Structure formats: structure tokens, C-alpha cells
Structure 1
Amino acid sequence: MSLEDEHERFDRKIEAMGVRIKDADTVKVRDDVFDEVTLMALYKLVHKKLITVIGGPISTGKEANVFYGERDGQGIAIKIYRIQTANFKAMTEYMAGDRRFSSVRGTRKGLIFAWTKKEFSNLARAHDAGIPVPEPLAFDRNILLMTFLGEDEVPYPQLRNAEVEDYGAVYRQILGYVERLYREARLIHADLSEYNILYHEKPYLIDMGQAVTPDHPRAPVFLIRDIKNLNRYFSRYCDVPDEQEIIRTIVGTGHREP
């Protein structure tokens, strides 16, 4: 059976289960994203009634595509990691030193399944610590379901494209998130920048698949890189402290003025 036939068969199945494909744009990227493994995972999530609407793409990238969806009228984000084009080498670097996933070996497909589970776990830890992130809802193979951060099917803008009144206040908020992420969730984002922060009245951290625990061999490097990225961006708009001072505060060896 061809992939096109598989798509049509899948469409019939989900329509029979009361799920509708809401946006024709979904079809335009399907040949590249919805391979057989992905269709099976999506079918399982639909069968569990975790998805009732599949909408159009929110974002597209080399590593993953994110689609808008709904579950019983509530917006969700459907993140699908691309098995064929995801950066296998880069993923291995973040996984190898993480004790939670250091035993993962083998195929590209197996690594991406583990990466999806890792992002679910990282988001759950951050969410439990009270950090504004998408709440993880479920995962299967290379698909992760999360709450949708946006309004009227439009996602909140990335920080770099957002209208911000007080950059100094937002900068301090984000540093507070980084500190809480480190101290309470025991995580370092490891890819923090104006691209992985959404903003609507407050900042939200997203894309946490690569986040590592503080005992990861490269955790200090990743933490410093996160702070450097934040300071690089915010230094255009407000005063920023010395990076080493921020690091000392985050890890508990410094003091931040109230």
C-alpha cells in the first residue's frame, strides 16, 4: 500500500471516530511528516480520544512540526518529531550524559521516541515547579501532545516578535524561571533564546526536549550558554548583570538584590 493510500485509509478511520481534519494546509505537509510510524502513533492517540480535531501547522522545522489540534473543544498542540530529518548527532549529545536516558541506544527511530518521552518528562517537571510552559498531556512514539499557548488558533508570538512594554521586568521574570527550573525542577533548558520563549502578558518557555539535569557532564556549559543568549538579546533593551553573577545566584552561591 502506498503512503497516499495509507493517508486516505487513515482519514477514513479518524472520520469514522468523529475526528475531523480542520485545515487543508495539513495535507500539504503530510508527505514529509506523516510517515507510517507517525500515522500509527496518531491513530493510537485518536483512538484514546486525546485528539478530536487535527488542524493546520503552527510551526515547521527540521526537527519537528507542530500542528494545532483540539480535544473536546480545548486547543492542543500536536508536536511531531521528524524521524528522517531530525539531527541524530545533536540529540545524542544531550541524551548521552542524562542519567534518565543514558541507556538509550540503537536506531534513529528509537532515539527520537526516547527524545519525545524526554520532552514530555522535562515539561512535566517544569510545569510541576510552576514555570509557565505548555502542560504535557500525552505522548506516543514521536508525537507529543501539549496544551496550546495562544488564542483563536493563533499561537502567542516568539519573544523576538512580541510587543513588550517593560523589557527589564520580562528579563527578570525569565531569570526567575531559569533559577526555579534549576533549583526546583532540577533542569537546565540548554537552548534558551528569544526563539524558544513565547510572550503574551508574561513569558512562556517552550521546546524543552534538550533540557538536561544539573549532573549532566555539559550542564555548566549549557547554563552559561542560556544566560549568554538572554544577555545578548536583552542588552539591546535594558541593563543586564554580569553573566557569572547570574550563574552564582542561580546555583545558590550568590545573592540577588530584592
Structure 2
Amino acid sequence: MAGRRDLDRFLDEYYRLTGKEPRRSDKDLFEVVEEVFDAATLKALLELVRRRVIFELKGVVSAGKEARVYWGKDFEKRDLAVKIYLTTSAEFRRGLIKYLEADPRFAGRVPKSTRKLYSTWARKEFSNYMRMFKVGVSVPRPIAVHENILVMEFIGENGKPAPLLREVDPDVETLAEIFRAVMEDVRKSVLRARLVHGDLSEYNIMVWEGKHYIIDVSQAVTLDHPNALDYLYRDIVNVVRFFSKQGVETPRPEEIFKEIVSNLR
């Protein structure tokens, strides 16, 4: 937890870098979420301000056990989604270790330090987003990562995030189009980015202005992960199950899985 002196030093430097006039609301934001803004996180946030990635944070738009997502602005006043991993969650820490130890990209290199562990996890999510984004998968555009902070494109407007797939109620024709687009992104992710999401469902697909966005890709694994194909099949089953329940005619999960795997090189 950041002490008052840490917070005051942070705000002094923050106002110097941004040229903003001191506001009580800024101090309130950082004091209220003291479990997120410990001294090290304040330092990391300040570095992103110094790099002119973040101009300001406006407030929390999503809060989970492992992270908070904030609506922010960059120096051009464009919207940002700023995801800050909580370095105090012991339960989440155990889960991270399990995922990282099984990921060939981190074999034998899982940090023992809690802070470095969360920093590694944030970098993993950024890397996964970047690999997907580069091959045309519809994900929020990744912008920057530093320590336990991940910055990306904000999907939504005026600080209100886009609804999740499970929260929208379009007609069956529109749903069928979304289903086809999501499955095409699963193919791209596997065949071009060589990644499997590993937890894909209606809970981590956003829908905004007629387009879907796949989110929460931190647990995505490369194809050389021992469970990659099992995770792929599970993702396909989850997506097919949801759309089938909404009245969309879909191929059987095993057909989709077989088609994708047959194209692996």
C-alpha cells in the first residue's frame, strides 16, 4: 500500500510531467484504490506518464480478483484501457505459477519474486495481444506494458466499456455473422499467431458497433504447450454451445476442430 508521502511525491511529479492543475479528484482516485496503487505501482504508472503513454486515469471500469481496468486518456485525449494487476492476490499468484511453468516460453524462467511474477504475466498478455493483433485477430490494440500495468485501446465510449457477447441481444442473423467472425479469428490465432486463447467464451468477447473483440488473452498458450489442442477444442465447444443456444446453426465442434488442426504446418 502506498503511504501518504509516496502519494504526494507521485502527484507532485505527475503534475510536473502533465502540466495539469492539482485536483482533489486525482488524489481521491489513488487513495481509494490503495490496494492497487502501492508505491511500486505508482512508480510504474509515473514511468508510463513520463513516456507520454498515459495522461490521466478517469476511474475503474472493471474490477476482478486479479486486476482492475481503468478508463484513461493519453496525451492526445484518446481513450485508453489501463489494466493494473493486483500484486496482493495470493490465490491468483498460485494460478500464475501453474500457467507459466507449463508455458514453453517461460520454462525454467518463472520469477520467484511476486512483483516480477506479475510483471511477467502482464508482458505475456501484451505479447499475446500483439501476436494476435498483427495477424488480424479482432482484439483491442495493445499500446504499452510496464511492470504490472498493461495499456491498450479502449473499446466503448465515454468511459463505458462495450458490452460482452452474453449481454447483447441481436437478431439471429447478426449472431450468425458474429459466430463466423469469431471462428475465423480462432483460425487466424491458431494458424497464423500460433496461439490458443484457452478460455474463450461469451464472457470474454466484447461487441461494439457491429464488431466483436476478443479480450483477456493473458492465459493464451503457444501451440507447443502440452495442452494447446485440448484448450483449442474446449474454446470451440464453448463458442459453439453459446451460439447454438441463441438459435444459430453451427457446425459440430469436432468438425471445426478437425478443419483447423488439419491446416497446421
Match of 1:77 among 81, 85, 106: 81
Counterpart in the other structure of 2:202: 194
Counterpart in the other structure of 2:16: 16
Amino acid at match of 2:9: R
- Mapped contact 2:204–2:214 kept (Cα < 8 A): yes
Cα RMSD (Å) of the superposition?
2.1
C-alpha distance in structure 1 between counterparts of 2:138 and 2:19, whole Å? 29
SS of the aligned residue for 1:131 comes to coil
Counterpart in the other structure of 1:231: 240
Is 2:143 the partner of 1:133? no
C-alpha distance in structure 2 between counterparts of 1:125 and 1:12, whole Å? 37
Farther-moved stretch of structure 1 (229-238 vs 100-109): 100-109
- Mapped contact 2:2–2:37 kept (Cα < 8 A): no
Counterpart in the other structure of 2:123: 117
C-alpha distance in structure 2 between counterparts of 1:154 and 1:19, whole Å? 26
- Mapped contact 2:60–2:69 kept (Cα < 8 A): yes
Counterpart in the other structure of 1:32: 35
Counterpart in the other structure of 1:185: 193
- Quickly say closer, same or farther: Cα 1:240–1:25, change in 2 above 3 A: farther
- Mapped contact 1:150–1:156 kept (Cα < 8 A): yes
Is 2:5 the partner of 1:5? yes
The TM-score, its normalising length taken from structure 1, stands at 0.91
C-alpha distance in structure 2 between counterparts of 1:52 and 1:61, whole Å? 24
Amino acid at match of 1:18: T
C-alpha distance in structure 1 between counterparts of 2:245 and 2:236, whole Å? 15
Match of 2:102 among 78, 91, 97: 97
C-alpha displacement of 1:23? 7.0
C-alpha distance in structure 2 between counterparts of 1:249 and 1:2, whole Å? 52
C-alpha displacement of 1:241? 2.0
Amino acid at match of 1:90: G
SS of the aligned residue for 2:60 comes to strand
- Mapped contact 1:101–1:114 kept (Cα < 8 A): no
The TM-score, its normalising length taken from structure 2, stands at 0.89
C-alpha distance in structure 2 between counterparts of 1:64 and 1:115, whole Å? 11
Tell me which stretches of 4 or more aligned residues in structure 1 moved more than 4 Å. Answer: 19-25
Counterpart in the other structure of 1:169: 177
Match of 1:248 among 247, 255, 258: 258
Amino acid at match of 2:239: L
Identity %: 37
Amino acid at match of 2:176: G
Match of 1:60 among 51, 60, 63: 63
Gapped regions of structure 2 (runs ≥ 5): none
- Quickly say closer, same or farther: Cα 1:19–1:66, change in 2 above 3 A: farther
C-alpha distance in structure 1 between counterparts of 2:122 and 2:44, whole Å? 12
C-alpha displacement of 1:99? 2.2
Q: Any idea what the Cα deviations from partners look like across 1:70-125, whole Å, max 9, x if unmatched?
A: 11211111110111116122222321222222222312222111111111110110
Is 2:222 the partner of 1:218? no
Query: Which structure shows the bigger proportion of residues in helix conformation?
Result: 2
Q: Any idea what the Cα deviations from partners look like across 1:168-206, whole Å, max 9, x if unmatched?
A: 221111111101100011100011111111001111001
SS of the aligned residue for 1:95 comes to helix
Farther-moved stretch of structure 1 (88-97 vs 136-145): 88-97
C-alpha displacement of 1:19? 6.2
